Amino acid sequence: MAQAGKPFAVGMITICQLMALSLWFSATAVLPQLRAEFDLGAIQSSLFTSSVLLGFVLGTLISAFFGLADRVEARHFWAASAFIAATANILILAVPVDGGVVIGLRLITGICMAGIYPIGMKMVATWSRGDTGFLVGLLVGALTMGSALPHLFAVAVPLDWRMVIVAASISAYIAGVAILFVKLGGTPGKSPRFDPRMVGHIWANKPLRHACYGYFGHMWELYAMWGWIGLFLYGALSGREFDNPGIWAALLTFAIVGIGAFGSLAGGLLADRIGRTTVTMAAMAISGICALVAGALCDASIPILIVVCIVWGISVIADSAQFSSCVIELADPHQVGTALTLQNAIGFIIALGSIHLVPVIADASGWWGAFAMLAVGPLLGFIAMGRLRNMPEAIRLAGGRR
């Protein structure tokens, strides 16, 4: 009987994740309009995305250190996080957009994301029956599609950026109510705690350290690409014969980021069959090449530009879930919680750096230099995963499939 409700429950959790995670890039999706209306500089523009990432790091550390995921019932924790995040998001409309308060509101939104994305993973895991890889890929796909959703809102309500903010908040409010009616497949397992005393021992684990290095290279590229591809496309289309370049740029950004959901699912399925290092190295090689090429295509034919960006959108996220899987398989069981928290915290902090560097380099030397800079991440990640692949401990990955 429990299994009979699995497709509905997993589907509902996935949809709720998608709807609530639209808050993540709700302000980023309207950056072209915000920069035109309020004359935002590169640093202020970057903070609309990076403050959410910083908030997510803080929220993850706080939740892991105090064990909040075990003290509060999962659905209630998720719903409360969605309601607070949606409220912080919509309050952007009540404060000066070019002031510091709006960045504080984005920070709060990011903190609340730590009660949505990881807790959604925890809830969907209660339905796992030997298909954990697929379920994790499904939730990463929801993160990807949720990140793309605000760009679709921007197409639906192109005349006023404020309506995009409102649409994202309403979406999260609805998800917060809906999640309370989702049935779990069992009692959620205890979340592994973050223990700072284990950090040194974890970092001394060479295979685990290289899995983290791979993730760091991945994160250097991922959020900077997601955060700035829309503005890049807006600039590329503005010089062409398009009546509404903003609408076309938003629609293309939705497609490019959103299609990564399928890349995430495919990456998860392939990794279980042909190996984790194989999939991560292939994905980083492709995304790195796309990063090198995309910026140079600003004046190229539109079909070529779109094809390259779509391939980039698929490959940039296809390997994401596999780095966490590597940590789970390589770390000692009692160290998994600390290792995952450490990996995520450092990875998101690294992403902050690349997000802020992209507009600076783009202003100085154009989009080719900015995106080529992102290619450094997948290059170093590729090398790290290649070294991990040659270590004897790699036999523990994906049931012996390296």
- Which of 47-51, 81-85, 186-190 is the most confident on average? 81-85
d(CA 398, CA 133): 10
User: Is residue 186 predicted with pLDDT exceeding 50?
Assistant: yes
Task: Kindly report, residue by residue over 108-119, the tens digit of the pLDDT.
Answer: 999 999 899 888
pTM: 0.84
User: Is residue 292 predicted with pLDDT exceeding 50?
Assistant: yes
With a pLDDT cut of 70, the percent of the chain lying above it is 93
User: Is residue 33 predicted with pLDDT exceeding 90?
Assistant: no
The overall average pLDDT reported for the chain is: 87
Task: Kindly report, residue by residue over 54-105, the tens digit of the pLDDT.
Answer: 999 999 888 877 878 778 898 999 999 999 999 999 999 999 888 889 999 9
d(CA 50, CA 42): 12
Position 112 scores a pLDDT of 94
Task: Kindly report, residue by residue over 235-259, the tens digit of the pLDDT.
Answer: 888 877 767 787 888 899 999 999 9
Which residues 6+ apart lie within 8 Å of 375 measured at CB? Answer: 221, 288, 289, 291, 292
User: Is residue 369 predicted with pLDDT exceeding 90?
Assistant: yes
User: 55-64, 210-219, 222-231 — which is least confidently predicted?
Assistant: 55-64
Task: State which amino acid sits at residue 218.
Answer: H
Q: How confident is the model at residue 2 (pLDDT cuts 50, 70, 90)?
A: very low
Tokens of 385: 């995963």
User: Is residue 316 predicted with pLDDT exceeding 80?
Assistant: yes
Burial of 339 (0-12, 13-18, 19+ CB in 10 A): buried
Q: Which DSSP state fits 395?
A: G
Quick one: how far is CA 278 from the chain centroid? 21
Largest CA distance in the chain: 61
With a pLDDT cut of 90, the percent of the chain lying above it is 44
d(CA 267, CA 262): 8
User: Is residue 177 predicted with pLDDT exceeding 90?
Assistant: yes
Segment 260-272 shows an average pLDDT of 84
d(CA 232, CA 249): 9
Residue that wins the pLDDT comparison between 191 and 89: 89
